[in-house]
Amino acid sequence: MRATLIGTEGAQTVRLKDLTSDGAGISSEVPLRAGSDVIIRRGDLFIAARVVWANGTSAGLEFYRPLTGEWLEFVA
> 74 pLDDT exceeds 60?
no
pLDDT interval class at 70 (50, 70, 90): low
Tally of structural domains, the chain = 1
pLDDT of residue 9: 84
d(Cα 39, Cα 41) in Å, to the nearest integer? Answer: 6
Burial of 10 (0-12, 13-18, 19+ CB in 10 A): exposed
Q: Which domain holds residue 49?
A: 2-75
Amino acid at 18: D
| Amino acid (1-letter code) at residue 37 | D
For residue range 3-60, list pLDDT tens digits in order. Answer: 999 998 899 999 999 888 899 999 999 999 999 999 999 888 899 999 999 999 999 9
Q: How distant is the alpha carbon of residue 7 from its chain centre?
A: 10
Q: Which CATH number characterizes residue 57's domain?
A: 2.40.10.220
Spatial distance between the Cα atoms of 41 and 45, rounded to a whole number of angstroms: 6
Tell me the pTM: 0.87
